[in-house]
Amino acid sequence: MKFGIMVNEGPYTHQASDSAYFFTKAALDKGHEIFRVFFYHDGVQNGTDFTTPPQDDRNVVKRWSELAQEHDLDLVLCVAAAQRRGLVDEDEQKRHGKDGHNVAPGFRISGLGQLIEAGIQADRLVVFGD
């Protein structure tokens, strides 16, 4: 089965990110395909490279980045939600004249069309968070 995943909550404020990660990992381990993981609303915070949790805490952003690299996942941050929350990639940095960029490895910024495409291409779109 081919899944699209949508994550609407930040990594440390709600269980949605952890649930989405473990669902995605389990689906891949069982041989299913993940078409795309789309991060929306506060979920875009899962893609900030500036997250620095304590050493004894889980590093949610790093887990997503490593899973993306291991399985060639498409991790997409909604551009409007990302901009509202201060996340910019290199292209957005240049376009808006910012001093730096903070999108974690394996993530990219794009529009809602990527979510629509995931809903069309996947057999199921599974949503985590409100």
Angle in degrees, CA 74, 8, 44, rounded to 5: 60
pTM, whole model, 2 decimals?
A: 0.95
Q: What is the pLDDT of residue 93?
A: 86
| Interacting residues of 51 by C-beta distance below 8 A, sequence separation 6+ | 11, 45, 59, 60, 61, 104
Q: What is the pLDDT of residue 100?
A: 87
Structural domain containing residue 76:
2-128
Residues 88, 46: contact at Cβ < 8 Å? no
Q: Would you state the torsion angle of the CA atoms of residues 37, 98, 12, 113, taken in this order, to the nearest 10 degrees?
A: -20
pLDDT band, very low/low/confident/very high, at 47 (cuts 50, 70, 90)? very high
Q: What is the pLDDT of residue 98?
A: 87
Residues 98, 112: contact at Cβ < 8 Å? no
Q: Could you give the residue numbers annotated as active site? A: 78
Cα–Cα distance, 32 to 21 (Å, whole number): 14
Domain count, the chain: 1
pLDDT in tens, 66-76: 999 999 999 99
Q: What is the pLDDT of residue 84?
A: 95
Supply the CATH number for residue 51's domain: 3.40.1260.10
pLDDT at 32 over 90: yes
pLDDT at 96 over 90: no
Q: How far is CA 37 from CA 11, 70, 98, in A?
A: 14, 14, 26
Q: What is the pLDDT of residue 99?
A: 87
